[in-house]
């Protein structure tokens, strides 16, 4: 088994059918909503694949366009065979990931992290490697953007409303290393998107957002 210092990871990324994704962005994004959802997922997956600690990304999705686009980036895409909700979909993806790489840790990563930077993800995964089960809370400290388990540990994600408290209640260690802002910055609302743009999103999200969304505040970090 790998030591915490050199543990590699397989990440499972759930992607909704694009027509149903980003519902809270409907008023702001209008006709660009599905396109934005795909751009955000693609920037997230592309950044994860560039992280040296990530050996594989498994995308669970029933959307054929998303599957095609994310596979072209280098992800393995699989259908949501359980079709019983988010957490069963993640468990399904994790099982396949472990079959392919049994010595790797497994993590569930939100598909809504368009500002994700590979180095910050690596910092979070290195911290996660020191705990059997761990998670990173979202920027609002209510939800979860990353849930991880080491090899041999049961994969039991508890995503959904209030997932931070549920993961803590199940014994997962909350990770708070410095310098992982982009791992925590998920995008569900126009306000979230503005914050992600201020951090500096991937090119796909920036291109789609420019069609309907104001630029980041002047002087914002990139």
Closest CA to 145 of 105, 185, 118: 185
Task: Please tell me whether 30 is known to bind a ligand.
Answer: no
Q: H or E stretch including 167?
A: helix 163-169
Q: Is 163 annotated as a binding residue?
A: yes
Q: Pseudo-torsion of CA 22, 24, 30, 36, nearest 10°?
A: -30
- Residue 77 and residue 89: Cα distance in Å, rounded? 12
Q: How far apart are the first and last CA of the chain?
A: 38
- Would you say 160 is a known binding-site residue? yes
Q: Residue positions in the annotated binding site for phosphoenolpyruvate?
A: 144, 160, 163
Residues contributing to the annotated binding site: 144, 160, 163
């Amino acid at each position: 088994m790998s030591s915490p210092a050199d543990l590699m990871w397989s990440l499972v990324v759930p992607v909704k059918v694009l027509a149903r994704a980003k519902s809270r962005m409907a008023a702001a994004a209008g006709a660009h909503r599905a396109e934005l959802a795909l751009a955000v997922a693609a920037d997230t997956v592309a950044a994860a694949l560039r992280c040296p600690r990530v050996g594989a990304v498994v995308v669970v999705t029933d959307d054929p366009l998303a599957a095609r686009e994310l596979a072209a980036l280098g992800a393995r895409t699989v259908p949501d065979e359980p079709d019983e909700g988010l957490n069963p979909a993640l468990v399904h993806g994790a099982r396949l990931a472990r079959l392919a790489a049994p010595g790797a840790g497994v993590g569930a990563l939100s598909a809504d992290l368009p500002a994700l930077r590979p180095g910050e993800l690596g910092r979070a995964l290195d911290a996660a490697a020191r705990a059997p089960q761990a998670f990173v809370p979202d920027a609002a400290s209510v939800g979860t953007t990353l849930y991880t388990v080491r090899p041999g540990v049961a994969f039991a994600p508890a995503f959904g409303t209030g997932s931070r408290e549920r993961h803590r209640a199940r014994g997962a260690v909350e990770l708070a290393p410095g310098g992982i802002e982009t791992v925590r910055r998920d995008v569900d609302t126009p306000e979230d998107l503005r914050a992600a743009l201020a951090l500096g999103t991937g090119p796909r999200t920036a291109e789609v957002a420019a069609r309907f969304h104001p630029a980041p505040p002047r002087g914002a970090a990139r």
